[in-house]
Structure 1
Amino acid sequence: MKQVIIATKNEGKAKEFKDFFEPYNINAVSLLELPDNIPDIEETGGTFEENAALKAETITDLLGTPVLADDSGLVIDSLDGRPGIFSARYAGETKDDQANIQKVLYELENVTTEKRTARFVCVLAISIPNKETIFCKGTCDGSIASFPEGEHGFGYDPIFVPKGYSKTMAELTPSEKNNISHRKNAIIQLEDWLKGIY
């Protein structure tokens, strides 16, 4: 089985990528499964693309192996695109999903339903030794609910209602979410690359 390193220590994200890669007979190994000597890479980029490339290329340089990194976040139109690249730490330096959700809901307190449009964005960067980094971008359009609902997923899933649905991402089953997620839409673009490489 071929292997690709997934540059994440987020268990939820790691599992989603494992599920996505399994049909291609590719073993996706997250940073959680590697020795602890891989440093946390500071996301100093100004865009999703820059941050994803930074992570993928740094780890490829360290390990000399193909690495896939993603940078993803929630873009809310009425907040001028925030939280955007700061989605994971929107409420502070410690990653706290609940605090992030509460901050978004507070900022949208007086915003009407039709103006609560938003999208999840995912940019994948695939770094292969001695080759140019490949990028794929996926989005999932929707809107922000007035309060959290649902037990599944992670991050902002409990307040994000995908377009065409009447329930939040966190109320969908994992397979329902995987079919429409921004990450899935980015990975669809990888299919030709996967077939070519593997």
Structure 2
Amino acid sequence: MPDLLVASRNAKKLRELERVLGVAGVEGITLVGLDTVPPFPEAPETGATFEENALAKARDGAAATGMACVADDSGVEIDALRGMPGVLSARWSGTHGNDAANTALVLAQLADVPGDRRGGGFVSACALVLPDGREFVVRGEWRGTIAREPKGDGGFGYDPIFVPDGDTRSAAELTPEEKDAASHRGRALRQLVPSLRDWVG
């Protein structure tokens, strides 16, 4: 059973990929997180695009471990902020991964923006690098609006302030299955399923 390194320490991302593979009927892959492999130098996320960052992470993981590696880089692009935070989403407030501070800063920056101009979208680029050197990069997007206050305690990142188009709940109020079906990362990961299925044989 081949191992697939998921270049993340976020257990929720591992479970998300597990669910996507399960729904797609892809069997025979063991998912491995960064926490379970020996540490290796990880390149800083300095790419100008989500795709560049995801591919750099996947290449690093594959080269260091010899495993197939999938990596994602994702964030939120807000229309009124001219597409920012974008690739800076995880460190928008100055501290990497501080979800509460990042969310609070975005809400403060949008305080005077009216409801009809609060559009935005989550973006996820997912890269897959296989041991034979083949590389795949895909992109998923999820449009919606930015709420005025956080709602819900599911999900992570900016989920509590993102209301998907066609819904009144925030992404943090959706069930994991609902989120997988609609989310930017779910959409991107599903595009990798054919390549993963072919790799497993």
CA drift at 1:30: 1.0
Residue 46 of structure 1 pairs with residue 43 of structure 2:
no
Alignment partners' CA distance in 2, 1:12 and 1:65: 21
Give the unaligned 5+ runs of structure 2: none
Match of 2:113 in 1: 111
1:31 partner letter:
L
Partner amino acid, structure 1, of 2:19: D
Return the structure number with greater relative CO, CA threshold 8 A, min gap 6: 2
Match of 1:57 in 2: 59
Shift of 1:7: 0.3
The 5-angstrom pairing of residues 11-90 of structure 1 reads 11-22=11-22, 23-25=25-27, 26-35=29-38, 37-90=39-92
User: Match for residue 182 of structure 1?
Assistant: 184
SS, match of residue 16 in structure 2: helix
Q: Does the 8 A contact of 1:21 with 1:28 survive in 2? A: no
* 1:145–1:161 CA contact under 8 A, matched in 2: yes
Letter in 2 for 1:32: D
Runs (5+) with no aligned partner, structure 1: none
CA distance in 1, matches of 2:139, 2:189: 8
| Residue 57 of structure 1, CA deviation | 0.6
Select between 14-23 and 97-106 the one with higher mean Cα deviation: 14-23
TM-score (norm 1): 0.94
> What SS does the corresponding residue of 1:134 show, helix, strand or coil?
strand
- Structure 1 stretches of 4+ with a deviation exceeding 3 A read none
User: 1:21·1:27 contact (CA, 8 Å) conserved in 2?
Assistant: no
CA distance in 1, matches of 2:91, 2:10: 14
| Alpha-carbon distance between aligned partners in 1 of 2:94 and 2:113, rounded to the nearest angstrom | 23
- Length, aligned pairs only: 197
The CA deviation at 1:176 is: 1.1
